[in-house]
Amino acid sequence: MSHADETAAARRQRKARTRATAACSTCRGRRTRCDNQRPSCGFCRNNGLDCHYDQTPQQPPSRVEVELAAIKQRLDDITTRLPPPATIHHAPPSQDFTPNSGHHAGHHVPITEEEKSPFQLLGIERTMTSLGLEPGFAEALLQLERSPPVHASAQTSRMRIMQQQTVLDALAAFSAHIHPFYSVFRPGFSQRHLQVMSGPLSPSCESFLSLVVTAVGVAASQDFAFGSATSDASAVNFVDAAMSSLPDVVVDSGLISVQCLLLLSIYYCCTLQPCRAYDYVVIASLKVQNLMKSQASQDDELAEQVRRAFWALLLLECELRAQFDRVGSRIQYQDDDVALPDGRRPWHLETEVGSPQESISPTMSMHSMASNELDTTQSYFLAEIAMRRMLNRCNTAIRRTSDGHIVYAPAIAVELELQLDNWYTCLPPAIRFDYHQDLDFDLLTSPSLYPRTDNLGNFLRVQYYCCKISIYWPAAYQCIQDGIVTLELLQHCERFFNAYIQLMPSILMAVRECMVHRWTLYASIFMTSMAVLKAASTVGIRQGCAIDWSRLVHCLQSTQRVDQRIAKGSGSLSLLSETLSERLRDFLETHAEGVDGYV
């Protein structure tokens, strides 16, 4: 018997066992055929017997699924371990440093839900004002993002004739720099893409998808070859050609239309247009949630692709929404009902069965991922899902008192940090970063000295420290609002500052390397730095925290060394860059000479 025959026979045996266990216990004991009616089969119903069905045995979960299930269980345990609400009291507002004065009765300014995280504040007017910004700053930022982009010498060619090498190079750049972050394509995509791009490109979802993938690849290849932070005119041309198929994409309800909108959103992320990216990712998120409802009739391969699209959209929508106070698709509330991606490997650039040999170029060979790189991509995707689940459940150490005020909860902060560290210990070695890595001042001094890094692992490190900043930000915020500190609050403010110090080298490298997340990363630099400047300007915090202030100031100054081609790549980033420079200059002029250790 051939191997194929043996495989088919084994498959038939598994199906036979499944059918056998599907019968009720009575029919199985009588060795008679069961009609599988629920809740009682025909034989049991006609004879007045109790009908009982055993559960169908399932395949044992993979090691990765076991690890992620353990993470999920620990996250779910948070709610049962949180302390009950209780009333706390604060001393009257004072500008003096009084470490033990935080337990006297008096009025205090409570934390609100709007101030719970420094990464969800760009669209919130009150918090912008509390950080010393003008009342209309958030609205001005959104208006800049909504203004039409200007593309230098963008020629809207009809894409009648194109060089095959351009398409191949673009596909290679897409495979190397973009797809690992959102691995939604399955093996076989290379051949499918090349066939569409060599055809007439008549309006259709397939044409739209291939054109946008090429546009993203062209933008990525230009960026990493020349350091340009804006889209090349040829990338704009590919997107303009794709837009003729947008009505077909919007009307269609299948998987390809979801992938089209996801890739269009990724294109706008790469070209520093997050509001446009968010518009399309929300539409795609709504589409994929509707598509999930019909998965029962889908074959296994298609269902897996839909699940990958679901998780990619959840990650991207949450990443964008963290920076704006915008209405979302609520996709994050469906994560418990959707299975994780399975162990099947995603697409990578390779010579596939049926591909013409002349399609292979040296560029493609250079960028093709080896087996270990595929494992890294798959591990990253699962680790990112686990991180997002943790952030969606709870990442803020606050609680509500009996009188309705929201205040800082130190016990919750410690528990959340424990959950975060547990997430880290479950990371596979392929993507486990060194979170004890010391700050390298040379990297912060000169961006040209930045080494090439593992983009996926470094981005996880950025999220790790951003999460720590979010955990301990409410401690600093309460000190800022009340003007009072306690020893416990000071200790947690120190953790807030130290997380920022550890974050900066990684996030500055990520801004350069992670093109698809560049806008949100720079926005995170802005918001965390503004929060640190405000906290460091508070007398009680500045006098009471035992941290290396010279390192902190050095990190703040390093924000001015981001490649200006990135900062000037969009109107909103230009506004953030200019505002941060101004606030940092004011801070150094006001506080540098009066505090020991400042440089």
pLDDT tens for 189-198 read 999 999 999 8
How far is residue 300's CA from residue 56's CA, in Å, rounded to a whole number? 18
In this prediction, residues 521-528 reach a mean pLDDT of: 92
In the chain, domain spans: 3-47, 65-146+395-594, 164-378
DSSP 8-state secondary structure symbol assigned to residue 40? S
Exposed e or buried b for every residue in 271-296, given b needs 16+ CB within 10 A? bbbbbbbbbbbbbbbbbbbebbeebe
Closest alpha carbon to 523 in 181, 117, 219, 235: 117
* CA–CA gap between residue 538 and residue 109 (Å, rounded): 15
pLDDT band at residue 480 using 50, 70 and 90 as cut-offs: confident
Alpha-carbon distance of 597 to 179, in angstroms, equals: 44
Which residues have a Cβ under 8 Å from the Cβ of 293 and sit 6 or more positions away? none
Binned at pLDDT 50, 70 and 90, residue 437 comes out as low
Helix (H, G, I), strand (E, B) or coil at 78: helix
pLDDT of residue 61: 65
Alpha carbon distance 302, 342 (integer Å) = 12
Picking from 209, 231, 211, the residue whose alpha carbon sits closest to that of residue 222 is 231
Helix ranges (DSSP H) in 394-515: 410-425, 441-445, 455-482, 487-513
**Per-residue pLDDT band at 453 (split at 50, 70, 90):** low
Q: What pLDDT does residue 222 have?
A: 83
Q: From CA 509, how far away is CA 177, in angstroms rounded?
A: 14
E strands, 59-143, where?
none
pLDDT exceeds cutoff 50 at 544: yes
Contacts of 443 (CB under 8 A, 6+ apart): 449, 450, 451, 505, 508, 509
Using pLDDT thresholds of 50, 70 and 90, give the confidence band for residue 74: low
Q: How far is CA 421 from CA 45, 163, 417, 424, in A?
A: 54, 49, 6, 5
pLDDT tier, 293 (very low <50, low <70, confident <90, very high otherwise): confident
CA distances from 248 to 157, 203, 205, 245, 460 (A): 21, 8, 6, 5, 36
